[in-house]
Structure 1
């Protein structure tokens, strides 16, 4: 997408950072369950923030928690993999033992990735 004639970007009304809302009611929130909306509105009021801010904060907190869980699992897997490779690469280790250790490490990593998702 290029700029419009006159140097303006295609979306009028957006200033500052890309994606900034031009007014506070720009977020369209739809809740199929009225009880769910009421519960979220109540929680937002208790926190003293707008509904949009409450939802975005909750989404950010969830995303960072998932990211932290994934990174922790990845570090644990890397440590186990390193240990498995160190044990398998000893002077008496055969190619088959090394491949078995690599497969075990790969399966551990895949299990951790699936758990994080």
Structure 2
């Protein structure tokens, strides 16, 4: 198994590289490890924000559907009237077909 190659870290701004190196040294880790940890932390934060927003959206949708269900669901009398109307239409169609 070959040894992993070091990351090629190029910084167009020498001051930026120096600041990151100083932060890595303060944390007691290599420059590569510091950058990878920072990238992982940022990706994790983005994921957490997405999941939080998704959870809030699901909650709002659930609440909206729950409210709408009460207004959409017909009562027993309405369902009976709908069934009778359907049967009446079906009988009329059968009469016209004959």
Q: Please, what TM-score do these two structures have when normalized by structure 1?
A: 0.58
Structure 1 vs Structure 2 CA RMSD = 1.6
Give the structure 2 partner of residue 90 of structure 1.
Answer: 70
Q: Please, what TM-score do these two structures have when normalized by structure 2?
A: 0.68
Give the structure 1 partner of residue 52 of structure 2.
Answer: 72
Give the structure 1 partner of residue 38 of structure 2.
Answer: 58
Q: Gaps (5+ residues) in structure 1?
A: 1-11, 14-21, 94-117
- The structure whose Rg is larger is 2
Q: Please identify which structure carries the higher helix content.
A: 2
Q: Alignment partner of 1:45: what SS?
A: helix
* Residue 48, structure 1, aligned to residue 28, structure 2: yes
Where in structure 1 do 4 or more consecutive aligned residues deviate above 2 Å? none
Q: Distance in 1 between matches of 2:48 and 2:71?
A: 37
Q: Alignment partner of 1:70: what SS?
A: helix
Q: Alignment partner of 1:90: what SS?
A: helix
Q: Gaps (5+ residues) in structure 2?
A: 74-98
Q: Distance in 2 between matches of 1:46 and 1:57?
A: 14
The number of aligned residues is: 73
Q: Which has the higher contact order (CA 8 A, sep 6+)?
A: 1
